[in-house]
Amino acid sequence: MPRPPIALGPLPLGRAMVTRDGGVARCTPERLFRLVAAVEEWPAHLPHYRWVRLTDRASDGGGIVEMAAWRPVPPVHVGWPTWWRSEMAVDATAMTVRFRHIGGITTGMDVEWALLPHAEGTEVRLLHVWDGPRWPLIGVVAATLVIGPVFVHEIAARTVAGLIRAAERGA
């Protein structure tokens, strides 16, 4: 029997690091929401995802999820393996999926996928907010200058684009 939903509340704003990714999908919000919420299926649509495991399923479709992805490292674009563990909350009414990272270098990061009706279909807004790792003196600098723009944004932008493509082709 699934556990009760995890209550993550609204996305906490005012963090040192903010990354914004998004786009517009030519499909209904419901179609794209099904793909965004079905995280265990992401590797089938997203070649940069190594694996996704929902280890403790909640009744809303969220729970505790482990994710691993490849982040290309220029100039040769060799894949750099990344891994994180998150609490996940799914709100089908609001068309949002929230994550709070509880394992990996990005512990404490909050994430929100929001899907909004748009004249062309569905607007996707993906936000990551964080104050950085708890490293004395350099945690915020590492988050705002390297981790956010280099690692988080690179994976997030590819994830949004890949899920939009999958939704548009009716996956």
Residue 138 domain-assigned (yes or no): yes
Residue 72 domain-assigned (yes or no): yes
Structural domain that includes position 88: 19-168
Residue 123 domain-assigned (yes or no): yes
**Per the structure, how many domains does the chain have?**
1
Condensed to tens digits (0 to 9), the pLDDT of residues 23-80 reads: 999 999 999 999 999 999 999 999 999 999 999 999 999 999 999 998 766 655 567 7
Condensed to tens digits (0 to 9), the pLDDT of residues 70-80 reads: 876 665 556 77
Q: Find the CATH number of the domain harbouring 133.
A: 3.30.530.20
Residue 8 domain-assigned (yes or no): no
Residue 171 banded pLDDT, cuts 50, 70, 90: low
Mapped to the 3 state alphabet, what secondary structure does the chain carry? Answer: CCECCCCCCCCCCCCCEEEEEEEEECCCHHHHHHHHHCHHHHHHHCCCEEEEEEEEEECCCCEEEEEEEEEEECCCCEEEEEEEEEEEEEECCCCEEEEEEEECCCCCCEEEEEEEEECCEEEEEEEEEECCCCCCCCHHHHHHHHHHHHHHHHHHHHHHHHHHHHHHCCC
Residue 13 domain-assigned (yes or no): no
Higher-confidence residue of 81 and 108: namely 108
